[in-house]
Amino acid sequence: MIDELKLARCGCGGEATVFLYETLSGHKEYLVICTKCGICIPSKSTETAAIQTWNRAMGVKDINVTNKDTIIIEPFTTDMNHIGYCKCGYLVNAEWKYCPHCGARLEWK
């Protein structure tokens, strides 16, 4: 059992924070957001699930072990910014250092 689950740092280097909110139907949801870049995970029904999802998205299986996968992204340009696709198929932004879906480290050409 997990005694104390810690939040991993965001790929941008920012601190992550857990937010608790109540939906219109009255369900409690937990959301983890980076206070520096604003990236977040989909909301979860428990704080533990939210932290585990965040850590996995940041490539951390254990708070002291990081994911070593590096994906080279060939970006394409939209009117807004440079984007590309991670190996997992997730659409990523050129400002991101890690894929929020699979946690792989992103290296941009």
Percent of the chain with pLDDT over 70: 84
98-107 pLDDT, tens per residue? 777 777 778 8
> What's the start-to-end Cα distance of the chain, in Å?
42
**Cβ pair 68, 53 in contact under 8 A:** no
pTM of the model: 0.54
How do residues 52-74 score in pLDDT, each as one tens digit?
A: 888 888 877 654 434 456 767 77
